[in-house]
């Protein structure tokens, strides 16, 4: 747990330095309301904070949406807490919503392999790492070859 929380805090500090204050505040707000009961109250706060973030920093609206969707996936049990923290940290550091494309593709491949092995639960951490690595390597070589 300390590894994922440390990564989330570090990515939040980095995001603040590059000017992504609204997604960082949204992440903090989501962390604080995660234990509110009942669920309706929690979801109301989450939607309010998400709208606030998107309105006051519209350039980061897509990043805020990714953070919101990641948190909702955890809220409804589709992803584990460590996976969500890693997704949010990745989104804050990369700062580009397109990073989800290779993560999703690698996750789909991992899901097919797990399905063939008849596994019901799979850790998404490997998909997040490999998809992010593919995205960064693609950006590096695109810039290196002068295509971006």
The number of angstroms, rounded, from the C-alpha of 88 to the middle of its chain's C-alpha atoms is 3
Do 67 and 137 lie in one domain? The reply is: no
Percent of the chain with pLDDT over 90: 71
This model's pTM is above 0.95: no
Helix 21-33, helix 81-94: angle, nearest 10: 170
Same domain, residue pair 91 and 135 = no
The count of structural domains within the chain is: 2
CA distances from 45 to 19, 26, 40, 65 (A): 24, 11, 9, 15
Domain hosting residue 28, numbered range: 1-95
Q: How far apart are CA 20 and CA 32, in angstroms?
A: 19
Are 27 and 66 within 8 A, CB to CB?
no
- Same domain, yes or no: 44 and 18: yes
Query: Do 105 and 124 sit in the same domain of this protein?
Result: yes
Q: Considering just the CA atoms, what is the radius of gyration of the chain in Å? A: 16
Q: Is the pLDDT of residue 59 over 90?
A: yes
Same domain, yes or no, for 81 and 107?
no
Query: 89 pLDDT exceeds 60?
Result: yes
Which band of pLDDT confidence, cut at 50, 70 and 90, is reported for residue 1?
A: low
Tell me: do 20 and 62 sit in the same domain.
yes
| Least confident window among 6-20, 54-68, 95-109, 110-124 | 110-124
Q: What is the maximal distance between C-alpha atoms in the chain?
A: 53
How far, in Å, CA of 23 to CA of 45, rounded?
15
């Amino acid at each position: 747990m300390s590894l994922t929380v440390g990564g989330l805090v570090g990515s939040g500090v980095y995001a603040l330095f590059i000017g992504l204050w609204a997604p960082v505040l949204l992440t903090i707000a989501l962390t604080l309301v995660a234990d509110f009961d009942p669920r309706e109250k929690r979801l109301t706060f989450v939607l309010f904070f998400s709208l606030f973030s998107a309105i006051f920093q519209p350039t980061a609206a897509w990043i805020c949406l990714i953070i919101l969707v990641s948190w909702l996936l955890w809220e409804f049990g589709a992803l584990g807490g460590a996976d969500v923290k890693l997704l949010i940290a990745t989104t804050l550091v990369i700062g580009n919503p397109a990073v989800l494309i290779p993560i999703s593709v690698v996750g789909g491949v991992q899901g097919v392999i797990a399905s063939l092995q008849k596994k019901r639960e799979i850790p998404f951490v490997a998909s997040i790492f490999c998809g992010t690595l593919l995205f960064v390597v693609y950006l590096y070589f695109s810039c290196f070859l002068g295509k971006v």
